[in-house]
Every structure is written in C-alpha cells, then in structure tokens.
Structure 1
C-alpha cells in the first residue's frame, strides 16, 4: 500500500522491476546481497527527490537514511541512475510508436540558484540571468525525454558546455544527426559540430518582432522538460555538494515521470482488455 504520493504503485513497480540494473552478486561477479528491498530504496530516493528533504530527515518508516544515501551514492558513481532512466526512456519511446534510439535532439540550459552547501569551486555567476549558482545543460529527444544532462557552474556558457556534451551525444546515440538549439549556440560551434562530429546544429531563432511568451518550433520541447524538473522540490534549487549528485537527482526525477506514464498506459491497456473480455 502506498504511504506517500512519491511511492510507486504496484503497477509502477511492475514496470520498474523489468528495467532495474542487475546486482553484481546475482551475476556471480562478487558483492553481497543488499539488506533492503530495491522498491523500498527507490521509494526513499523518490521521496527525497519529490519533497526536497535532507537525507537525515527521511521518515522513520523508510530504511535508515545512511543506507538510503549509500544506495543513491552507488547508483550515482556507477552510472546506474542514468542507465535506469535510459531503459525507461526507450520503453516510453517504443510505447509512443518511436524507435528506441532517437535520430534528432534539442539542447538548452537552465540556471538555478545554489544553496550554501554548494562549494564556491563548482558555482558561478550567470550575468544574463543574474543568478549565482549552477547551470543545467540538457539534451532531449523530440518527445522531450532526457538524453543527457551536464551540471556546471552558472558562468559556463552554452557553447562551452556543448563542446563537452555533443561528442558524448554522438558516441552514445550514433543515429542522431540533427540537433536544434537557440541563439546561445550560434557561431563557430555550428561549423565545428558539422566538421568534427558530422552533426547538424540548427539554430531556431526568435524573430525581432516577437514580444512576450512565444512558443518556438522545436525549442518548446526542451523548455517543457526544464519545466518538468522544477516540479521536483529537490531541483528547485541546487543543494548538492557534487554536480554529479545534481545530475543523478535529475535522472531520478525524470525516471519518476516515465514510470508513471508507462504504468498509466499499462493500466489503461488492461482495463480495455477487461472490457473486451466482458463483451465477449
């Protein structure tokens, strides 16, 4: 039975269980069985992500906070959060009638304020947004599903981050040949991406006669994704000492969205099958 809104339903757990990374001890590669159920651990991490509480403030009916943090830290350092999210993303794309691997992407960034727990070495000042903190650089597919995230100091420009991200994107998603971006990515980056990566970087410009909020082609997809991130209280401000922890929380936040979407689809499919069976 669910205790908190962030907990997985049984339908969600059925979806999530299929894409969970396999523990090394089950594959005979060493290690010991974990002392807690993965569902309990994931629900605890989801609670922190959704409600923004301190690790030590986890409700007592979850496993001990230090064990939950150790679980989160292991998933962060071994890249399991990204792997877990990637498997869910592929299932959502296939459910939407798309190929598992995308062929086009959209890139953008979001500056957010940093808490006092963020060290000076990994924070900076975004002069354009007038924000002292960090910047999230994200790349999504055409459905707005996260492909890659890089958290940097806020003074790292879009073009600087793109120089780091685009080669990794090309390596992980070889089918992607087109990336849409805003004017912050124009300049020599466009020619560099074409020459070095065989990647077309198409700039979607905002017309001079536009005023106020305007939905721009392709760019609105990634901007909606950045809005989704702000629905998780842990991501409203950056509280993490390590940028890698911020990235892991972003993957967990989006994994929650994807698992819920898949669970709703599965429940709807079972309900439809029940109606057909009753009619027969």
Structure 2
C-alpha cells in the first residue's frame, strides 16, 4: 500500500495486547508488511506457500492472518474503515438503509462437494455469496452458501445478522428474487421495510432502476 494508505489505516488498527499490558509478546514483523502480503495473496489468488520471498515467510503471514481472523480483528478493522469512508462522504457512520443481492460463482476443483451446489437459473455449479451493502456500496453483511440455495432461503438469515450489527437499519432494497413471505418476516421480526424493485419482463442488459433517490444497477445473468 502507499504511504498515504498506510497512514490512514495505521491509526485505525486495534492496539496489540502487549502494548496495553494485557500479555503477549511484541511481533517480529511490521504490520504493514503483513497486510501487504495478505493483499498480494488475495489479489493474485495464489497459495500461502507461493508467497514471494520479498514478503515475510509464508507460515508467519498465515499465522498473522489466522490470528486476526479468529479474534475478529479483520472485521473490526473493516468496520472502522467503512465508518471513515461514510464520514468522508458526509454520512453518519451508522447506516439506516441497505441493499441486498446475491451472486453465484463457479467453484474451483478444490471446493468440497458438501459446500457447493448447482444454481439452475444461472447454470453455475459452485457457491453463492449473499451480501448486504449500504447505499454507497460498502459491505455490511456477507454470507456464503452452496449455489443451490435460493436468494429467498438465504435471505431469511441475513436480516437477523444485519439487525444484530447495524441497529439503525430500517429499509432494505432488493430485486424480484426476494419476493414472498420474506417481506412480511423482515417487517415483523426485525422491523425492516424490505422494498422489492422489479424489472419489466422486456428489459435486457444493464438497466438503472430509480427508487426513492437511490439508484440500483442490475444486470440480467
């Protein structure tokens, strides 16, 4: 990352336990090096053992990432960065509205059969990611299932997670795949108004759909 990016991120990092007298040992490697290594791995889609020699040893980078994942520090950092972006756009850090959608992705050969499935509509064998973003497109909640799980089935769990993490959310926009009882359930159990924005049957390709001052780009297929 650039010096400017690191300066912005550094002040948002959780303070290590040893610096606050809560035990533990000082880390050998710089956090900036570790984050650059993880970003390189994710962007390049490489294996841990393929980490270039310019970075710290792959097993140390993996141990760093695993510790941050298990202790919830990756999510904490993400939330702090998202809040900072929202504030820079003149928004309140805590959103009140969101957008829900899903996308099926072809699974690699290494993906276990038990965690994958076939999406008949998209003709994809793999997994499906279900996400809720704010009106700036920033991630709020994510859930990964087999591609065979329908949008409505997965969406039954998403509002509960959304309400748990973002208590001010009161409205969520979705496409036609989320029609049915979900609208009533979201309103009754979680006090969230789920608004379904439908496309006309003759719409093809990318279309901008206006709804209450918010614009949603949807692409068929």
| Structure with higher strand content | 2
Alignment of 1:136 with 2:132, yes or no, is no
Structure 1 pair 156/30, CA: closer, same or farther in 2 (3 Å)? farther
Shift of residue 212, structure 1, vs aligned partner: 2.9
Q: 2:216 is matched with which residue?
A: 220
Name the SS for the 1:75 alignment partner.
helix
Q: 1:124 aligns with which of 117, 121, 124?
A: 117
Q: 2:138 is matched with which residue?
A: 145
Normalised to the residue count of structure 1, the TM-score between the two structures is: 0.74
Q: 2:58 aligns with which of 58, 65, 76?
A: 65
Q: 2:26 is matched with which residue?
A: 33
Shift of residue 42, structure 1, vs aligned partner: 0.1
Q: 2:179 aligns with which of 160, 181, 186?
A: 186
Which residues in structure 2 correspond to 1:105-116 (within 5 Å)?
Answer: 105-116=98-109
Normalised to the residue count of structure 2, the TM-score between the two structures is: 0.93
Q: 1:277 is matched with which residue?
A: none
Shift of residue 129, structure 1, vs aligned partner: 0.8
Contact 1:180/1:219, CA 8 A, preserved across alignment? no
Cα separation, 2, equivalents of 1:71 and 1:102: 31
Which residues in structure 2 correspond to 1:1-280 (within 5 Å)?
Answer: 8-217=1-210, 218=214, 220=216
CA offsets per residue over residues 192-243 of structure 1, 9 Å max, x none? 111111110000000123233212235636x69xxxxxxxxxxxxxxxxxxx
Name the SS for the 1:214 alignment partner.
strand
Moved over 6 A (4+): none
Cα separation, 1, equivalents of 2:139 and 2:36: 21
Note the aligned Cα RMSD (angstroms): 1.5
Structure 1 pair 143/188, CA: closer, same or farther in 2 (3 Å)? same
With CA pairs under 8 Å and 6+ residues apart, which has the higher RCO, 1 or 2?
Answer: 1
Name the SS for the 1:215 alignment partner.
strand
Contact 1:204/1:219, CA 8 A, preserved across alignment? no
Gaps of at least 5 residues in structure 2 are none
Cα separation, 2, equivalents of 1:48 and 1:118: 18
CA offsets per residue over residues 55-79 of structure 1, 9 Å max, x none? 1111101000011111111222222
Name the SS for the 1:220 alignment partner.
strand
CA offsets per residue over residues 87-111 of structure 1, 9 Å max, x none? 0010000000010011100000111
Shift of residue 117, structure 1, vs aligned partner: 1.7
